[in-house]
């Protein structure tokens, strides 16, 4: 190890910063956060440094640097743009055995300032020993996304209870188990949910109870449309902490790859038609794993509350007393619109947008077609690829213009995204000609015309019929069939 890491108590200790530019300002900000008594030595100051001087938060010396000042300080930072001045300050500090940091000069520095992730009282500091500061910064950014801001209050709560935990659990192994539960269980969840009072009460209760058994919980997480870059930071953290992940078929492999390596992954894909039995099965699995004390992530495509039955799952968890959290995801309509260059609303074209689903003919009868056919609005239709003909017929029947543009987005946001465009009059025909398959989202409305000029992701939109001829329909059998089998054959043909 090239450097010896340490964290310094600077509260009410004098620190000298030589230099008054933006770099010095950054250093002063960090020193002020640690409550150091800062004196800045510079002829001119940045406006922010000047404000701190005016507010009495730092002292200012505008006269030339004098080495006698060093006798009063614990640390020195040399942050001028002049290397010689920096060197002089460093040499004089060295002579007095005062630690000095020279900005961007590892050689002249006797201490380095690490890249920091601040979750006070928790601090993560990263150093590359001056060799690769950009790498340290990059690492900091990565870790920053992984560490929830509730970690600070969690550490503070643990500090407050520390003595009592030690008395309650004198045996180290039991104490470790208690802390593990405190940091990963319901207390941590309550802090994430912005309920510090309830978190304190839960911690007190855990401290009073005889055992330190972890309580299971469920996080309902939206995985977005497929591109892992569209996951939220919260979703990523939940995936990192999961013991078990129950995921839909729609969740992309790239997203699943981001989950904790040793988390158990269970696919609970639902096929159209057997929703009810499988939904019960999902409920049973949620219950089984949560009751076994595991942290369960229920991972759903898009957003869990948009055509995702997330509501039903939460009702079930509530009825069974299992604690839960919800992490929203980017829903298919929002993602497909963005990745196809179709703004869902636009001042010139559409003032509203409707998220609609209609996955079977029966559900079509419950929709308000007159409202859906109105102009200057956008329809985002989920699970509609199988019924494009019905959709087209109903909308035209209720007066939507045949020339209304559409964009049909297949595998939105994924590497194999395809966008088929056209007008309402040719919707079913175009969908069939390009053999559009699920998952696909239909965006219908004036805004869809913008796809041709605003598209930016993947292949450009497919406007014309495909080049290759579509596979011809198999010839009808010429054999005569008894009347009773006629219906059966017709059914086979339809299938
Ligand atoms: N909860 C999900 C929707 C589930 S319903 C969400 O918020 O997105 C499933 C339907 O969503 C699919 O039939 C399709 O219409 C749409 N869908 C989901 N992911 C998609 C994707 N990557 N591209 C296009 N459509 C998608």
Which pLDDT score is estimated for 2?
Answer: 85
Determine whether the shortest distance from the Cβ of 214 to ligand 1 is under 6 A. no
Across the beta sheet with 418-423, what order do the strands follow? 352-357, 377-382, 440-444, 405-410, 418-423
Cα 227 to ligand 1 centre (Å): 13
Which pLDDT score is estimated for 467?
Answer: 60
- 398 pLDDT exceeds 80? yes
Determine whether the shortest distance from the Cβ of 282 to ligand 1 is under 6 A. no
Residues 16 and 37: their CA atoms lie apart, in Å, by: 8
| Smallest CA separation from ligand 1 atom 11, residue | 382
Which pLDDT score is estimated for 466?
Answer: 67
Q: What is the pLDDT of residues 399-421, one digit of tens each?
A: 999 999 999 999 999 999 999 99
For a pLDDT cut of 90, what percent of the chain falls above it?
78
CA of 417, closest atom in ligand 1: 23
- 474 pLDDT exceeds 80? no
- 378 pLDDT exceeds 70? yes
Residues 62 and 47: their CA atoms lie apart, in Å, by: 15
Which pLDDT score is estimated for 212?
Answer: 55
Average pLDDT over residues 414-439: 96
Q: Place 213 in a pLDDT band, splitting at 50, 70 and 90.
A: low
Q: What is the pLDDT of residues 338-361, one digit of tens each?
A: 999 999 999 999 999 999 997 766
Residues 256 and 258: their CA atoms lie apart, in Å, by: 5
Which pLDDT score is estimated for 374?
Answer: 96
Average pLDDT over residues 130-138: 89
Q: Give the residue with greater pLDDT, 323 vs 476.
A: 323
Determine whether the shortest distance from the Cβ of 268 to ligand 1 is under 6 A. no
- 365 pLDDT exceeds 90? no
Which pLDDT score is estimated for 470?
Answer: 46
DSSP E strands in 79-153: the ranges are: 99-102, 115-119, 122-126
Determine whether the shortest distance from the Cβ of 307 to ligand 1 is under 6 A. yes
**Spatial contact of 447 and 352, defined as CB atoms under 8 Å apart:** no
Which pLDDT score is estimated for 428?
Answer: 97
Determine whether the shortest distance from the Cβ of 339 to ligand 1 is under 6 A. no
- Which active-site residues does the annotation give? 248, 270
Stated pTM of the model: 0.76
Cα 59 to ligand 1 centre (Å): 59
- 306 pLDDT exceeds 70? yes
- Residue 265 backbone dihedrals phi, psi, to 5 degrees: -105, 130
Which pLDDT score is estimated for 270?
Answer: 58
Residues 221 and 263: their CA atoms lie apart, in Å, by: 15
Residues 138 and 115: their CA atoms lie apart, in Å, by: 9
Which pLDDT score is estimated for 483?
Answer: 40
Choose the weakest-confidence range: 321-330, 334-343, 466-475, 480-489: 480-489
């Amino acid at each position: 190890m090239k450097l010896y890491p340490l964290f310094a108590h600077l509260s009410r200790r004098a620190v000298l910063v030589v230099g008054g530019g933006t770099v010095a300002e950054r250093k002063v900000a960090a020193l002020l956060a640690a409550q150091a008594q800062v004196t800045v030595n510079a002829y001119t100051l940045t406006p922010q440094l000047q404000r701190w001087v005016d507010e009495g938060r730092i002292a200012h010396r505008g006269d030339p640097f004098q080495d006698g000042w060093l006798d009063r300080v614990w640390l020195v930072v040399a942050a001028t743009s002049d290397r010689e001045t920096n060197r002089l300050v460093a040499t004089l500090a060295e002579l007095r055995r005062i630690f000095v940091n020279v900005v961007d000069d590892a050689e002249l520095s006797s201490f380095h300032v690490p890249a920091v992730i601040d979750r006070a009282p928790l601090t993560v500091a990263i150093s590359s020993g001056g060799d690769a500061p950009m790498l340290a910064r990059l690492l900091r950014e990565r870790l920053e996304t992984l560490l929830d801001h509730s970690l600070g209050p969690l550490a503070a709560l643990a500090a407050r209870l520390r003595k009592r935990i030690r008395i309650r659990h004198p045996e180290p192994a039991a104490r470790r188990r208690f802390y593990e539960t405190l940091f990963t269980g319901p207390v941590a969840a309550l802090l994430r949910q912005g309920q510090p009072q309830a978190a304190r009460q839960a911690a007190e209760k855990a401290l009073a109870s005889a055992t330190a058994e972890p309580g299971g919980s469920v996080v309902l997480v939206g995985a977005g449309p497929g591109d892992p870059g569209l996951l939220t930071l919260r979703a990523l953290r939940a995936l990192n902490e999961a013991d078990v992940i129950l995921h839909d078929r729609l969740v992309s492999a790239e997203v699943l790859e981001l989950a904790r390596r040793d988390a158990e992954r269970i696919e609970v894909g639902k096929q159209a038609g057997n929703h009810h039995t499988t939904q019960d099965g999902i409920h049973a699995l949620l219950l089984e794993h949560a009751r076994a004390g595991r942290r369960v992530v229920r991972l759903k495509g898009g957003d869990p509350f948009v055509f995702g039955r997330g509501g039903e799952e939460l009702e079930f968890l509530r009825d069974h007393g299992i604690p839960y959290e919800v992490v929203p995801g980017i829903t298919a309509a929002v993602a497909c619109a963005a990745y196809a260059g179709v703004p869902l609303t636009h001042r010139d074209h559409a003032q509203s947008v409707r998220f609609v689903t209609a996955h079977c003919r029966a559900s079509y009868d419950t929709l308000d077609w007159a409202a859906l056919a109105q102009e200057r609005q956008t329809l985002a239709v989920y699970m509609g690829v199988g019924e494009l003909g019905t959709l087209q017929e109903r909308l035209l029947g209720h007066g939507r213009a045949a020339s209304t543009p559409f964009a049909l987005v297949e595998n939105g946001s994924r590497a194999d995204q395809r966008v088929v465009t056209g007008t309402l009059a040719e919707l079913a025909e175009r969908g069939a000609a390009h053999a559009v398959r699920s998952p696909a989202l239909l965006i219908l409305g004036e805004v869809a015309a913008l796809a041709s000029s605003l598209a930016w992701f993947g292949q450009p939109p497919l406007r014309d019929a495909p080049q290759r001829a579509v596979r011809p329909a198999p010839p009808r059998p010429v054999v005569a069939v008894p009347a009773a089998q006629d219906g059966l054959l017709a059914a086979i043909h339809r299938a």
